[in-house]
């Protein structure tokens, strides 16, 4: 693993994968801060839904017993951090809290507890893809079509089973993509650089975009892929960077390769758009957030000449990289699905973040 090549150097002083400061240098190292406690609670609240998914994982022998061990051990880690922030490799942040959860699951033999729901949602979203694309293609104005595609990214991004609240809604009612895209919170969003991005978009300035993708289902298939298709249609090369290993319901590199092959026609086109400039890369990541100081050699090689970096989703685009600087233009886009993030940003729950940073050449 090596640093993402478009980060400014030296990495140690210019980059940290954490947007919300959990603690400051002046804080007592032996006492958990209010922010640390509130985020430990966010992860604690997700334990029941993770345990439930793990219990029903038929690929694992003794799944219910192992799920119980996961529940006890992860809760123990979280309580330990509340008592002593420096325990277990702390003090905790979003990367550590997620990493310990994923490592515990893997240690107990759980490879992908969300596999079944991901497969179901991918199948549903694949059947809706032609309709979503044709609605977009029918919009003649470039700026309006872009806004419609952006709204689609937000609508798709709500399929997030890492949020305890959304996991509950999802298992009870399901989530409608088209209804969600119509019912987003009104603009201006909590961070809203869409007009600025639109102004540059119409000039067709970029040659190559790297998109760090997020969830399976509607997120990748109905949100990101129609947007990526539009970039391809404009002659832009697109690299989709997906996780190496499963984390929550994030799409993996192998799953994304399979999804795209299902969506292409016999001529290798995505509903009339050539895909010869579309690449799918293994980011080397295994978490629902991302630390860009460690990516795969493959992704680093494919990204070195990109002039637009896009980080999508709450984990990658907001919680770990909202303020990350790059050597080229960058876009952070995601829906706010935790109250704690909404409070930090001064916005509403299910508000939207569209942060565009332009690099002066």
pTM of the model: 0.95
Average pLDDT over residues 151-174: 74
Residue 313 CA: distances (Å) to CA of 34, 211, 269: 25, 11, 26
Average pLDDT over residues 147-172: 78
- 8 A C-beta contact, residue 95 and residue 289: yes
**171 pLDDT band (50/70/90 cuts)?**
low
pLDDT at 164: 64
DSSP string computed for 52-63: HHHHT-TTSTTH
**182 pLDDT band (50/70/90 cuts)?**
confident
Average pLDDT over residues 71-99: 94
**75 pLDDT band (50/70/90 cuts)?**
very high
Structural domains in the chain plus CATH codes: 32-106 (1.20.1700.10), 113-355 (3.40.50.10880)
Average pLDDT over residues 197-215: 96
Of 117, 134, 110, 123, the C-alpha closest to 58 is: 110
Average pLDDT over residues 219-244: 97
H or E segment and range at residue 272: none
Outline where 202-245 has alpha helix (H).
218, 225-233
DSSP label at 42? H
Q: What average pLDDT is seen over the chain?
A: 94
pLDDT at 166: 65
Above 90 in pLDDT, residue 162?
no
pLDDT at 180: 78
Strand pairing of 278-282 and 237-242? Answer: parallel
Above 80 in pLDDT, residue 276?
yes
């Amino acid at each position: 693993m090596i640093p993402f090549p478009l980060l400014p150097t030296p990495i140690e002083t210019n980059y940290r994968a954490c947007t919300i400061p959990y603690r400051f240098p002046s804080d007592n190292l032996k006492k958990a801060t209010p922010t640390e406690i509130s985020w430990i609670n966010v992860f604690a609240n997700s334990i029941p839904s993770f345990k439930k998914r793990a219990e029903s994982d038929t690929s694992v022998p003794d799944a219910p017993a192992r799920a119980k061990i996961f529940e006890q051990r992860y809760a123990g880690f979280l309580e330990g951090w509340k008592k002593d922030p420096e325990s277990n490799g702390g003090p905790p942040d979003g990367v550590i809290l997620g990493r310990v959860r994923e490592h515990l699951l893997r240690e107990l033999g759980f490879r992908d507890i969300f596999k079944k729901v991901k497969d179901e949602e991918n199948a549903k979203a694949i059947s809706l893809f032609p309709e979503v694309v044709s609605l977009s293609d029918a919009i003649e104005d470039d700026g309006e079509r872009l806004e419609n595609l952006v709204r689609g990214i937000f609508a798709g991004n709500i399929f997030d089973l890492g949020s305890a609240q959304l996991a509950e809604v999802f298992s009870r009612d399901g989530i409608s993509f088209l209804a969600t895209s119509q019912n987003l919170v009104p603009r201006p969003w909590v961070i809203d650089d869409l007009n600025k991005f639109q102004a540059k978009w119409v000039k067709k300035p970029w040659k190559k975009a790297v998109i760090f993708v997020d969830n399976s289902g509607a997120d990748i298939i109905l949100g990101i892929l129609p947007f990526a298709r539009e970039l391809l249609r404009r002659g832009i090369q697109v690299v989709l960077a997906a996780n190496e290993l499963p984390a929550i319901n994030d799409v993996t590199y192998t799953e994304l390769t399979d999804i795209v092959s299902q969506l292409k026609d016999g001529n290798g086109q995505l509903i009339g758009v050539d895909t010869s400039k579309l690449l799918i890369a293994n980011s080397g990541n295994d978490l629902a957030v991302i630390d860009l100081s460690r990516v795969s050699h493959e992704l680093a090689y494919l990204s070195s000449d990109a002039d637009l970096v896009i980080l999508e989703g709450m984990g990658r685009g907001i919680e770990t990289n909202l303020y990350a600087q790059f050597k080229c233009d960058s876009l952070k886009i995601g829906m706010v699905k935790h109250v704690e993030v909404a409070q930090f940003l001064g916005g509403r729950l299910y508000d939207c973040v569209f942060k565009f940073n332009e690099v002066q050449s």
